Structure 1
């Protein structure tokens, strides 16, 4: 099979249906093609059906209806032939963490039947390709997230396939590692290999040659990314010169009928309008002389949110229920003074210093393994610093750890609630941990179930919740006791754009009430919500400032308006060059 431009069709999907149980189908009449020499983005939020569709393409599962043809093989009748010819990297890739990089390669070579005489040349090519030659003796469990994904890619390429299926390879990976993975995959398409790159990151969709955009099991769009972004052409505006709180203004604008979506971009606000001609009316509604609406380039995410009917609005019932925090004596709510953590001879965090005033969002950014999670854990009392001092709400984390922990709420990077307990039982448990009792305890639990729309799932085991609802539950548990400081460790990794906006609506509202937030994230657009950012690399803080200040540091005549991702990568590259000089 081939297309009009001569590119071979490697996968043909025709009316594919897959069900699990009696509910709505996981895949509902999905049709489309995947071609050689291209990256096809299988794009959509958690629960969209991406992993199910990939597993059907591998022949590991069978559809209830429809037909799947892979490399001219019928997926029902010829699954072994498909599995011998493709490369497949599952979402939770099966690396053996107690084996070294080389031992993992040896194992996968055995499983794929790679002849021993071919192995030295194949291993040399793959280790060069992934830049892992220096780490062949390192245990896979000791690799950073990005390096694990590179090793996973190498194992999937032990036998050069015509079709490579990658299930969310960028989840939890920092921007530098994601960019490196993209370059590797683009090199593969130059050899004619067809690549399916599954992702919930909508900025990754823009880099694909074609996309299959899915939501709740349905195919919403198939084609070039530009074909979708064209639907919001002329409707995307950037609001600058904001006077007063940009968070409060965004909340108000999101409740305007003329505004479909909006996010904070540093000191500006990015808006998607309902109609191209709505800009003047929105400008009048703001009614200040200093603000300006300037047309902005549409993004794939703008179009996707528009297709889903817009964002969740600007109202946060959680923030409305929050008692305002007093401004106090002006002392920072969170303080880091020379925080240092050593593990043996390795210094994970080296003299990290910053402070966060009340009612601000502070971001810790950095590549995987840079030291940001170590810094984060020291400040919320989970790790004892080797040197230096950390304070939360005035309490020293060494001497008064229990008092400090009672003043903060913590949402872990990975779902950390009790999977075998129900939603209501988790909330009840954490209410007790945070010292709530009696009527107050019952009131806060009922409020969390209502605000986060979890009443119908109250009796469900937490482990059975979809990812978006797990994140809601985790946030509900973290704010149960109205903490002064909120610690969020990559809180929205993998969730859909609507849930992410809902999440940040709550956070922005809480900050307006005086709550102080420390957040780590790999989403560079989320970093734009921060008042200030510390960029950590190799254990040190290499840059500190607002998002706009960090972007201004890397602006050039040929790149006058850099993105946060540009700033992230450029500042780290500059740090490496300085260290090498």
Structure 2
């Protein structure tokens, strides 16, 4: 296919920092190309260079034969751009945003109404034309952003992480809409940190730390790992302890929990793996080959995961292995006027359990999460931590929990060490106890090179480690994690789960929200929240079993999520 975009040895620097390093690539006409990598890899910078919003420090970017930076005026109307952050006006309605962007894109007045009607039908937003953009759910905002970027019928569509922070249903809908646009003329560059999305693209550009690691069809990269990925099934005993043990074995470069099984990736030069060679004949019944995934290949390129040891968990004393209920929601209800955000949520979480709260955007899981950790007062019902009611014994209950917010909640005006000292004070640590715990966090997370760096200037992975350190410094019995790994690299995600699994092994109880369906597999139990209600509760394997059928014989967690929500809709419609 002819190239619509040609990128020749570009380099981009900001105040001496390299954002893009000597990158050469091309985008074929009429295809979806995935721009894949964690936050900070250089994806947004590359998109802005292609759009002519930035000029490269060195090299050239040509779009449809024109220099993107020097001849941007000649590309007016040719490029549609959807920025990563919601680029619409929240105090304008859906229709007012469309009218504004039609003017910005120079859509002729006699064409506007026809294009509005087409976009509203295309995105299923016709029912919401009078709603303020700020009142839309996350998925609806992304659909509106896509509609605005398509006004004027561009031939090159640049989508900067359209699926970030939205649930699997909204992500699938976005993919369906973009695939419907491909007619041999439209070219799409889809930026994402969700590595499973790479497999939906015809070609990918894989970035990490400003460098291009791979360019080509995703199957070409995953094919390098053929016969190197195994699923360990029929596990007897604690799968977390077994994973930690296996991750430190020679030849095992990566491993994750997949429901009741373990998914293992082996080095290219490792001997043919077997139960005997791994020393797990008494721990599991079978080790079977499975198809490699794009994330497996990315971990392989990066040299493997972080291993199975958690220096953080080693600082915790074991809690009693008594199976006691340490966190509970008792028919929690939260209303805002006539709107019910959470409707009779009820569950109990045992000591040393990972409990996942999943749900579409706007389903009520964040409301439930905040009531459970005392940040939001319920309209009725109660939440307990270790038997203490969060409303009646708030300070006592809150001292037993740690909280890591979805958005970085540390103070940008303080450096890393000052943030650690501040949060130690919040949790009541003083004197030698405070100094000992801060020193422990510095050692466990290898913070020494960053102590004097402003928190707002830290790399994303270090910021997330700082947020986790501040949440666990006082050694809480219950840990609340709200989207803890959003945007970080695959290796940093593995590191976080190594810590989480090891903390749970010490008896810490974890409540977590996530939009990564593979991370949901780590949970012991999951509550799927939809329209304010918990519509399904069970282990990952139990939820997948509920949707198993002839047309979906081996469902993934994403399949389970979507089908359970769809079944809830069908039941609601039949009432």
Task: Tell whether the structures are fold-level matches, with TM greater than 0.5.
Answer: yes
Change (3 A) 1:552 1:481: same
Instruction: Find the counterpart in structure 2 of residue 417 from structure 1.
Output: 410
Aligned mates of 1:291, 1:274 — CA distance in 2? 22
Instruction: Find the counterpart in structure 1 of residue 357 from structure 2.
Output: 364
Aligned mates of 1:576, 1:277 — CA distance in 2? 50
For the pair 1:379 / 2:403, whether they are aligned, the reply is no
Change (3 A) 1:479 1:253: same
Per-residue CA deviation, residues 62-91 of structure 1 (Å, 9 max, x unaligned), is 112111101211123202222432000111
Aligned mates of 1:28, 1:284 — CA distance in 2? 40
* 2:77 alignment partner, SS class: helix
* 1:178 alignment partner, SS class: helix
Instruction: Find the counterpart in structure 1 of residue 448 from structure 2.
Output: 455
Instruction: Find the counterpart in structure 2 of residue 301 from structure 1.
Output: 295
Aligned length: 573
Instruction: Find the counterpart in structure 2 of residue 326 from structure 1.
Output: 320
Aligned mates of 1:555, 1:277 — CA distance in 2? 35
Measure how far apart 1:283 and its partner are. Answer: 4.8
Q: Give the structure-1-normalised TM-score.
A: 0.97
Instruction: Find the counterpart in structure 2 of residue 272 from structure 1.
Output: 265
* 2:38 alignment partner, SS class: coil
For the pair 1:72 / 2:69, whether they are aligned, the reply is no
Aligned mates of 2:43, 2:72 — CA distance in 1? 19
* 1:190 alignment partner, SS class: coil
* 1:213 alignment partner, SS class: strand
Instruction: Find the counterpart in structure 2 of residue 466 from structure 1.
Output: 459
* 2:182 alignment partner, SS class: helix
* 2:484 alignment partner, SS class: coil
1:12 to 3, 6, 12: 6
Residue segments in structure 2 that go unaligned for 5+ positions in a row: none
Please tell me whether the aligned partners of residues 283 and 292 of structure 1 are also in contact (alpha carbons under 8 angstroms). Answer: no
Measure how far apart 1:559 and its partner are. Answer: 2.2
Instruction: Find the counterpart in structure 1 of residue 336 from structure 2.
Output: 343
Please tell me whether the aligned partners of residues 73 and 81 of structure 1 are also in contact (alpha carbons under 8 angstroms). Answer: yes
Please tell me whether the aligned partners of residues 231 and 264 of structure 2 are also in contact (alpha carbons under 8 angstroms). Answer: yes
Measure how far apart 1:287 and its partner are. Answer: 2.8
For the pair 1:39 / 2:32, whether they are aligned, the reply is yes
Residues 220-259 of structure 1: pairs in structure 2 closer than 5 A: 220-259=213-252
Instruction: Find the counterpart in structure 2 of residue 557 from structure 1.
Output: 550
Aligned mates of 1:452, 1:29 — CA distance in 2? 31
Change (3 A) 1:79 1:514: same
Aligned mates of 1:281, 1:267 — CA distance in 2? 17
Aligned mates of 2:442, 2:48 — CA distance in 1? 35
Change (3 A) 1:136 1:293: same
Please tell me whether the aligned partners of residues 364 and 535 of structure 1 are also in contact (alpha carbons under 8 angstroms). Answer: yes
2:98 to 86, 102, 105: 105
Aligned mates of 2:483, 2:278 — CA distance in 1? 37
Per-residue CA deviation, residues 172-202 of structure 1 (Å, 9 max, x unaligned), is 0100000000001111113520000011110
1:401 to 385, 394, 398: 394
Measure how far apart 1:95 and its partner are. Answer: 1.1
Per-residue CA deviation, residues 18-38 of structure 1 (Å, 9 max, x unaligned), is 112234x22111111112221
Please tell me whether the aligned partners of residues 42 and 212 of structure 1 are also in contact (alpha carbons under 8 angstroms). Answer: yes
Please tell me whether the aligned partners of residues 423 and 458 of structure 1 are also in contact (alpha carbons under 8 angstroms). Answer: yes
Aligned mates of 1:264, 1:408 — CA distance in 2? 25
Measure how far apart 1:266 and its partner are. Answer: 0.6
Q: Give the structure-2-normalised TM-score.
A: 0.98
* 2:273 alignment partner, SS class: helix
Residues 54-203 of structure 1: pairs in structure 2 closer than 5 A: 54-190=47-183, 192-203=185-196
Aligned mates of 2:50, 2:510 — CA distance in 1? 43
For the pair 1:574 / 2:561, whether they are aligned, the reply is no
Once structures 1 and 2 are overlaid, which stretch shifts more, 456-465 or 363-372? 456-465
Aligned mates of 1:406, 1:206 — CA distance in 2? 44
Measure how far apart 1:262 and its partner are. Answer: 0.3
Aligned mates of 1:112, 1:209 — CA distance in 2? 29
* 1:222 alignment partner, SS class: strand
* 2:437 alignment partner, SS class: helix
Measure how far apart 1:109 and its partner are. Answer: 1.1
Please tell me whether the aligned partners of residues 236 and 283 of structure 2 are also in contact (alpha carbons under 8 angstroms). Answer: no
Please tell me whether the aligned partners of residues 44 and 215 of structure 1 are also in contact (alpha carbons under 8 angstroms). Answer: yes
Measure how far apart 1:290 and its partner are. Answer: 4.1
Aligned mates of 2:550, 2:81 — CA distance in 1? 42
Please tell me whether the aligned partners of residues 198 and 218 of structure 2 are also in contact (alpha carbons under 8 angstroms). Answer: yes
Please tell me whether the aligned partners of residues 275 and 281 of structure 2 are also in contact (alpha carbons under 8 angstroms). Answer: no
Please tell me whether the aligned partners of residues 360 and 530 of structure 2 are also in contact (alpha carbons under 8 angstroms). Answer: yes
